[in-house]
Homo-oligomer: A and B are copies of this chain.
Amino acid sequence: MNEKLVKNAAGRTVPVEINGKPVVPYMGVGKFHPQGCCHAPRIPSNMDYPQDGNKLVPSLKEALIRAGLRDGMTISTHHHFREGDLVANMVFDCASELGVKNLCWFPSASFSCHAYLLKYLDDGTISHIEGSMNGPLGRYCSEGRMRKTAVLRSHGGRYQAIQDGDVKIDIAVIGAGCADAFGNANGVNGASASGSLGFAVADAQYADRVIVVTDSVIPFPCIPWQIQGNYVDYTVKVDRVGIPEKIVSGTTEVTRSPDRLLIAEMTAAFCEGTGLIRDGFSFQAGAGGTALSVGNFFGDIMRKKGIKARFARGGSNKYLVQLLEEGLVDYILDGQTFDLDGVRSIRDNPRHVMTSPFTSYNYHSKGNFASLVDIIILGATEIDLNFNANVVSHSDGYLLHGIGGWQNCLFGKTVILPVPLFRDRIPVIRDEVTTLCGPGELIDVVITERGIAINPLRTDLIEKAQGLELPLKSLNELKEEAEIICGKPQKPVFTDKIVAAIKWVDGTVIDVVRQVVSE
């Protein structure tokens, strides 16, 4: 390997080229100024599409053939069905049957259900993945088994990459709960309804060819048409597009762990005490067990104070829907629907609004909503003493999670990471994070069961928190407490081989993941 490496603005050693294409090393928050123009799709014409609007083709394979599937293409799919997704696996079954090789898979995220695709990574049908990897595919990547370098982006970064032409999608395959033959599609109706299809919006707009796959074809018009048929080349009806019982993600119940509940309670108390929770405020709590509990505590505070939130950002779930229906939040601005209450609400309640990564997260736009949110609750696998955080790899070096909207949300007004001090006797606060995903300057507060650390940059918060009966500590103090209990953690051992690049929201490379030396 003779790739050229440089130190980026975060002090991380990164390549200047990935998979043969030049990349820009991270330059700092708000430092990289994009040049040039957005990706310009070729101009289509109605003359090449059926006058009666019927774009149905008999099978996904047929649609892929007509879309010109061939070696080396970039194929996108979406994670709206989460663990119940059947579309991505079907796509690469077809590719394999057709003998097509060396495809770049560009999912909005991948899950354990996609471990099925390991065989296609093995046999070269898929050369590599550009997209968030949850679980087995990340492990495969960490082991250095992927033929090319993986690229991980945030949800907003994925939109940015498509919009800017960093990634040119040859064929987008969009699974939808419901569609009409023209290709208008949504995720709120049909047996496999999964909620918002926001992650596929960029793909529909910018991909060369677009295929909609559904198990429920209704007469035109399919309303709402979150995916507009005017962007769609082919529609395909399959027996089953997703497994409904697996669409609901596993992390949709509030935590029952006493420690996690304590963290959630401290988080709520901190937000209340520092005045962050005021009439007309906004928040994004997220979907993990702790985060869900935080949202519930926020509800209690609003009821007590007789105030309401102007909006909450989804990932929506039954708890958030409850707040909406109770009138405690005016709007849910939803990127992703995590349970069936969320699906029902986004279908029926005009105050439960579908968003896309364009509206919410795209850094290369004229502003996005992330920076308008008052309180952002996020997780992290590791945090260093400068508040830098990791969200993709574990401390053993394995890449096991996607970035999701995490990086994008860091632009919120107050970003809080409620995290346990240690997990499985591995401390969360470290001298150095294994993988840098988010710069510490954007992370305001770390809340653990043993204390709260406020970023020194947030003198306003430090001042407001002084009088509160909350255990304020430094990150160093928290780290030492953990190390007394768990011991000083070992660093993982890596080879030199770069297996994945982590993009920042502006498309620059903030860090890389290296091959883990397995024991």
A-side residues, CB < 8 A to B, are 30-31, 33-53, 55, 163-164, 182-183, 210, 219-221, 223-225, 228-233, 280, 310-311, 331, 333, 350-351, 353, 358-359, 362-369, 371-372, 411, 506
Contacts of A50 in B (CB 8 A): 367
> With a CB–CB cut-off of 8 A, which chain B residues contact A372?
52-53, 182, 220
Cβ-defined contact, A371 with B52, below 8 A: yes
Q: Which of A30, A35, A41, A44 counts the most chain B CB atoms within 10 A?
A: A44
Which B residues are in CB contact (< 8 Å) with A39?
A: 40
Residues of chain B with a CB closer than 8 A to A223's CB: 331, 350-351, 353
* Min distance, Cβ A41 to any Cβ of chain B, angstroms: 5
Contact status B37-A38, CB under 8 Å: no
Given A38-B41, A367-B55, are A221 and B47 neighbors across the interface (CB < 8 Å)? no
Chain B residues contacting A52 (CB-CB under 8 Å) are: 371-372
* Residue of A36, A210, A311, A372 with most chain B CB atoms under a 10 A cut-off: A372
A280 engages B219 (CB within 8 Å): yes
A42 to chain B, nearest CB (A): 5
Q: Are A367 and B229 in contact (CB under 8 A)?
A: yes
Further pairs besides A46-B364, A51-B411, A230-B359: 19, Cβ < 8 Å: A33-B47, A34-B44, A36-B42, A36-B43, A38-B40, A40-B40, A44-B364, A45-B364, A46-B365, A46-B411, A49-B366, A53-B367, A53-B371, A221-B311, A221-B353, A223-B353, A224-B353, A228-B359, A230-B362
A35 to B67, CA, bound (A): 19
Determine the chain B residues whose CB is within 8 A of the CB of A230 once the complex forms. 358-359, 362, 365-368
Expressed in whole angstroms, the minimum distance between the Cβ of A269 and any Cβ of chain B is 26
Q: How far is the CB of A209 from chain B (nearest CB, A)?
A: 9
* Docked-complex contact A363 and B41, CB < 8 angstroms: no
Which partner residue on chain B sits nearest A163 by CB separation?
B43
Known: A38-B40, A372-B52, A372-B182. A46 touches B219 (CB 8 A): no
User: Which one, B220, B280, B358, contacts A310 given CB within 8 A?
Assistant: B220
* B residues near A38, Cβ cutoff 8 Å: 40-43
Rounded to whole angstroms, the CA-CA distance of A381 and B364 in the bound complex is: 47
Of A45, A52, A225, which is in contact with the most chain B CB atoms at under 10 Å from its CB? A45
A–B pairs, 12, beta carbons within 8 Å? A40-B40, A43-B164, A44-B364, A46-B368, A50-B367, A182-B367, A220-B310, A220-B369, A220-B372, A223-B331, A228-B358, A230-B368
Tell which of A37, A219, A351, A365 has the most Cβ of chain B within 10 Å: A365
B219 touches A43 (CB 8 A): no
Contacts of A351 in B (CB 8 A): 223
Q: Are A43 and B364 in contact (CB under 8 A)?
A: yes
Which residues of B are found within 8 Å of A367, using beta-carbon distances? Answer: 46, 49-50, 53, 55, 182-183, 229-230
- Please tell me if the beta carbons of B225 and A359 are within 8 angstroms of each other in the complex: yes
> Does B43 contact A366, Cβ atoms closer than 8 Å?
no
Taking CB atoms, residues of chain B closer than 8 Å to A210 are 366
From residue A354, how far is it (CB to closest CB) to chain B in Å?
10
Q: How far is the CB of A489 from chain B (nearest CB, A)?
A: 36
